[in-house]
Amino acid sequence: MADLTRISISLEENLLDAFDTLIAGKWYATRSKAIRDLIREEERHQHGEHVAVVTMVYEHHAREVAAKLIDKQHHHHNLGASSLHVHLGQRHCLEVSVLRGPSHNVMHLGDELLATKGVLNGDITMTGGEGTLNKLR
């Protein structure tokens, strides 16, 4: 690891408690590791290519929801890397889309997909592209 510099920060007690709860749930061994990862994540969001995994659950019979999702992805065809469709049962489907491109564009499309009428829930997980991962480690 590169040379380390020790710093000190001041936080309100309730904010520190919330941070400790957050990092405990992610299995961080130290606060320093968690803060380094937060800074790296912010850097990834601001520079270079990004990859997002967008997971969506929707009701199969909802009016044209699948067609709307496909149309939105075709409209941004340059961002689509891959997608997966899983039948969860008679009524619900899971759609997983992997998007790749500039952070702002990828996040915008991810938000647009999740906001589609008929999508019951979902999530966006972002990471840097190959260039940003190598630069920040």
SS3 readout for the chain: CCCCCCCCCCCCHHHHHHHHHHHHHCCCCCHHHHHHHHHHHHHHHHCCEEEEEEEEEEECCCCCHHHHHHHHHHHCCCCEEEEEEEECCCCEEEEEEEEEEEHHHHHHHHHHHHCCCCEEEEEEEEEECHHHHHHHC
Question: Where residue 100 falls among pLDDT bands split at 50, 70, 90?
Answer: very high
In this predicted structure, the answer to whether residue 118 has a pLDDT above a threshold of 80 is: yes
Mean pLDDT of 33-45: 79
What does residue 110 show for φ and ψ, rounded to 5 degrees?
A: -60, -45
Q: Looking at residue 121, what is its pLDDT? A: 95
Q: Looking at residue 29, what is its pLDDT? A: 87
The pLDDT tens digits for 41-59 are: 777 666 667 899 999 999 9
Average pLDDT, the chain: 86
Residue type, 14: N
In this predicted structure, the answer to whether residue 137 has a pLDDT above a threshold of 50 is: no
The pLDDT tens digits for 76-91 are: 999 988 999 999 999 9
The residue with greater pLDDT, 6 or 131, is: 6
In this predicted structure, the answer to whether residue 116 has a pLDDT above a threshold of 80 is: yes
Q: Looking at residue 37, what is its pLDDT? A: 85
